[in-house]
Amino acid sequence: MASYLLRRVGTSALVLLLASIVVFVGVRALPGDAAVALAGEESDPVAIEQIREKYGLNDPVPVQYFRYLGNSLQGDLGFSTRTGLDVSEIILDRLPVTLELALLSLLVGLLIGIPAGILAALRRGTWIDNTSNAFGLLGLSIPNFWLGLVLILVVSVQAGLLPASGYVPFFESPVANLERMLLPAIVLGTGLSAVLMRQMRSAMLETMSADYVRTARSKGLSERQVVLVHALRNSLVTVVTVLGLQLGALISGAVITEQIFVIPGFGKLIVDGVFTRDYPVIQGVALVTVCGYVLVNLLVDLTYSFLNPRIRVSGGAS
């Protein structure tokens, strides 16, 4: 276990290091000169040269990279070229908004996906199964931003039930906050629930035909006990992995959902950054996203290997 843990942590650290190089190089590959962007409209060559000197843009690229890496590790992500604000502070400001959206979507996804998957597997071939499968296929095929537009159209514009867009901090007014977060969470959550439902269904089908489930049945346990205690627990192991893999989809979905519902979160930050050519912001958001994503996947992997010792053994052999 210790060696597996070390190897897995080592790989993640290497990936993070490589990713920081990609982000650094990628931002420098963006069209436009950072010094000119900072200097503003006045393209006085002397002023631009001073900015180059001040921000060390004349240093060799590796020197710039290591300075950037050192600063990032200390939480210094630079300043927005558009607003002049500290990028770390902007991110800390926006992150809770996206985290709330992600958590609510996860809740929606789990509440729909898990029961639907279990029911579909237990009532295989019936209308429940067929409905769940249709729902799963539609969930995979309908683009979530369109679902968002349709929900705004039906729920907000025509029925006038919920506000179409905007954001109110939770601690300012929990009701107003949830009113505005409900539709985005449903939009993001349904896509997730479709994937979860399909995975849960096939995992349940597999465990229900496993030997230990037959043993449990032949011991005379009630069907309820067989399902809840034996089959469900082992099927949930699969779901943990799927959740880790779906985190990327959740982040991607948040980018576009926040755009549609005008939620001032992380995803809107990066898209706005791209349009205003605010390179420090893009760089900061990309770096923080990648770190979060890699760390969560590491945690998921370790949880998984803890829940399922077979992974550790085969993982150690390869």
* Cα–Cα dist 4/302, whole Å: 9
* Cα–Cα dist 209/105, whole Å: 32
CB of 173 to other proteins, least distance (A): 26
- Of 50-58, 65-73, 135-143, 229-237, the window that binds other proteins (rule: CB under 8 A) is 135-143
The residue type found at 194 is: A
* Cα–Cα dist 132/145, whole Å: 22
Residue 298 makes contact with other proteins by CB under 8 A: no
> Given candidates 142, 168, 182, 302, which one binds other proteins under the rule CB under 8 A?
142
- Of 41-49, 55-63, 100-108, 242-250, the window that binds other proteins (rule: CB under 8 A) is 242-250
> Given candidates 10, 13, 26, 89, which one binds other proteins under the rule CB under 8 A?
26
The 79-118 site mask, x for binding other proteins (CB under 8 A), equals ----------------------------------------
> Given candidates 274, 300, 307, 311, which one binds other proteins under the rule CB under 8 A?
274
CB of 296 to other proteins, least distance (A): 11
> Given candidates 119, 243, 251, 269, which one binds other proteins under the rule CB under 8 A?
251
* Cα–Cα dist 191/143, whole Å: 8
Q: Which two tokens stand for residue 191?
A: 């896509």
Is residue 145 a contact partner of residue 260, using CB atoms and an 8 Å limit? yes
Element (H, E) at 137: helix 127-141
Residue 65 makes contact with other proteins by CB under 8 A: no
The residue type found at 115 is: P
> Given candidates 146, 169, 212, 306, which one binds other proteins under the rule CB under 8 A?
146
Q: Give the DSSP per-residue string, 150-182.
A: HHIIIIIIIS--S-SS----TTT-HHHHHHHHH
Q: Residue 293's closest CA among 258, 246, 241, 255? A: 246
Residue 43 makes contact with other proteins by CB under 8 A: no
CB of 271 to other proteins, least distance (A): 6
Q: Which residues contact 170 (CB under 8 A, 6 or more apart)?
A: 100, 177, 178
- Note the residues at the interface with other proteins (CB under 8 A): 11, 14-16, 18-19, 22, 26, 29-31, 137-138, 140-143, 145-146, 149-150, 152-153, 157-158, 202, 205-206, 209, 247-249, 251-253, 255-256, 259-260, 267, 270-271, 274-275, 282, 286, 289-290, 293-294
